[in-house]
Amino acid sequence: MKKYDLAIIGGGISGLSAALILSAGIKDNENLKDKKICVIDAGGSDALKAEFFNAPGVKQGTSGKKAIQKLVDQVQSYGKAKIHNGRITEIVKGEDSFIIKTKKGKEYSASSLLLATGFRSWDIAGLELPLKRFTRTTNDSRVAIEHTEYKVSDNIYVCGLLADVSSHYPIVAGTGAQAAINIMYDWTGEWIVIHDK
């Protein structure tokens, strides 16, 4: 079974933005060099069907598929995060880690989770989470998770639409980046800000 310090559940804009910031932090910070992270993605991000015309830094008219692939390429350029394809069906909390199970029978172990699955539903068995109705729509079927500064509970974080934010590229990307900074703080006890060199 593959073991990670953090598993990011969902490879849309917010999850990949978190993976990008974490990868940069792991590469550039001695206190993080041994951290192992992964992204587990089912390939169902709503962004894959979008076209972006008002996302900062993204060429107008860029398809969601190309924007997601650009983020994947950026994450992979650091060589610090593994990206796995798979639909997660269950997450079991153990004494010191979470066991993540996929529909095809693969299992991963992670000390912490960052939930970035979107707001359409929460259908992963095993975790008891403080679910609530997503507040930025009249569609009562949308869900979010209660949190404080993107932290749900010990070793569980949330970002993107599941964190109950507006559905715009820079906003969901920003929640992933902020959650990543918060995770690095919890790992090191210091605020790490990733900047260009």
Beta bridge partners of 6: 37, 112
Instruction: Check whether 195 has a pLDDT greater than 80.
Output: no
Dihedral Cα 56, 19, 157, 6, nearest 10 deg? 180
Q: Which amino acid is at 154?
A: D
64 Rama class: left (phi>0) / alpha (psi -120 to 50) / beta: alpha
Dihedral Cα 54, 58, 64, 67, nearest 10 deg? -160
The pLDDT-based confidence of 196 (bands split at 50, 70, 90) is low
Per-residue model confidence (pLDDT) at position 137:
86
2-188 domain in CATH 1.10.150.130?
no
Per-residue model confidence (pLDDT) at position 98:
98
Whole-angstrom distance, CA of residue 52 vs CA of residue 72: 17
Do the beta carbons of residue 49 and residue 64 sit within 8 Å? Answer: yes
Per-residue model confidence (pLDDT) at position 197:
62
Per-residue model confidence (pLDDT) at position 83:
97
Q: What is the DSSP letter of 125?
A: B
pLDDT digits (tens, 9 = 90+) for 6-48: 999 999 999 999 999 999 999 999 999 999 999 999 999 988 9
In this predicted model, which residue has the larger pLDDT, 66 or 46? 66
Whole-angstrom distance, CA of residue 95 vs CA of residue 104: 25
pLDDT digits (tens, 9 = 90+) for 78-122: 999 999 999 999 999 998 999 999 999 999 999 999 999 999 889
On average, the pLDDT of the chain sits at 94
Give the predicted TM-score (pTM) of the model: 0.96
Per-residue model confidence (pLDDT) at position 121:
86
pLDDT digits (tens, 9 = 90+) for 176-190: 999 999 999 999 999
Per-residue model confidence (pLDDT) at position 102:
96
Q: Which two tokens stand for residue 29?
A: 């910070």
Instruction: Check whether 131 has a pLDDT greater than 90.
Output: yes
Domain layout of the chain by residue ranges: 2-188
Per-residue model confidence (pLDDT) at position 79:
96
Beta bridge partners of 90: 101, 125
Instruction: Check whether 75 has a pLDDT greater than 80.
Output: yes
Whole-angstrom distance, CA of residue 187 vs CA of residue 189: 6
Q: Which two tokens stand for residue 118?
A: 């979107």
Do the beta carbons of residue 17 and residue 72 sit within 8 Å? Answer: no
Per-residue model confidence (pLDDT) at position 189:
96
pLDDT digits (tens, 9 = 90+) for 162-179: 999 999 999 999 999 999
